[in-house]
Amino acid sequence: MNIIISGKQMELTDGIKDAIQEKIERLEYYLHPETEVKATVSARKARHKIEVTIIPISGPIIRAEDIEENLYAAIDVVYDKLNKQLRRYKNRLQDKHQSNESIRFHGIDSGEVEPEFEEEDRLNIVIERNKKFGMKPMGAEEAVLQMELSEHDFYMFRNIDTDDISIVYKRRNGGYGLLEHE
C-alpha cells in the first residue's frame, strides 16, 4: 500500500504521521497491495481536519473526512468511517456475486431539470471550487456504489451502455435517480 501523508498550513510531527500510518495499515485486509492512499491534515484555529482518499487499482474511490478539536480523535473517526465503507463494499460485492443480483433502481425519474434564475441572480453566482477527475465506463449500479462510498449525494460517470455522461443521485424520499442525456 502506498500511503502519502501531507499537511496543509501545518507541520506534521512523526507522532501524527505514525498514528495515521498505523490506522490506515489496519485497512490493508480490504485493499490491494498497490492501492494508493492519500491523507491530508489541516488545522484552522482549534479545529483539525483530516481527509483520507483511497484510490484502488480497480473499484471505487473511497473517501472520508472529519473535523475535531483533537486531531487523534479525528483520525479515529476517519478510520471508523473508512472501515465501515470498505466492509460494506466488500459485503455488497460478495452478496452480488453469490446471489447474482444487482442493486435495483425503483422509481427513477428522468427528465431535464432547468433552474430558473433571474438576471440579477446570475451575476451573484461564484464558483468556489473546480474539480476534475477521470471517469471509467461503468453501469448505473456500480455508480451508485461509488456514490455511497464517496459519501456524496450524486455521482457523475460515463455510462458503459451508452458511452454518455450520466449522473446518479439520492432522492429526498429515498431511492436513487438517474440523469441521462436525451
Measure the CA–CA gap between 145 and 139, rounded to whole angstroms. 10
**DSSP code of residue 27:** G
3-state SS of the chain: helix, strand, coil percent to 5?
Answer: 35, 25, 40
Q: Which residue in 52, 39, 41, 40 sits closest to 83, CA to CA?
A: 52
* pLDDT (tens digit per residue) in 23-37: 999 888 888 888 899
**Which domains, and CATH codes, for the chain?**
2-99 (3.30.160.100), 119-179 (3.30.505.50)
Instruction: For residue 117, give the H/E element and its range.
Output: none
Burial of 54 by CB count in 10 Å (0-12 exposed, 13-18 middle, 19+ buried)?
A: buried
- pLDDT over threshold 60, residue 169: yes
Instruction: For residue 63, give the H/E element and its range.
Output: strand 62-68
- The residue ranking higher by pLDDT, 140 or 118, is 140
- pLDDT over threshold 90, residue 73: yes
pTM of the model: 0.56
* pLDDT (tens digit per residue) in 84-111: 888 888 777 766 655 554 444 444 444 4
> Which of 152-161 are b and which e, b meaning 16 or more Cβ less than 10 Å from the residue's Cβ?
eeebbbebee
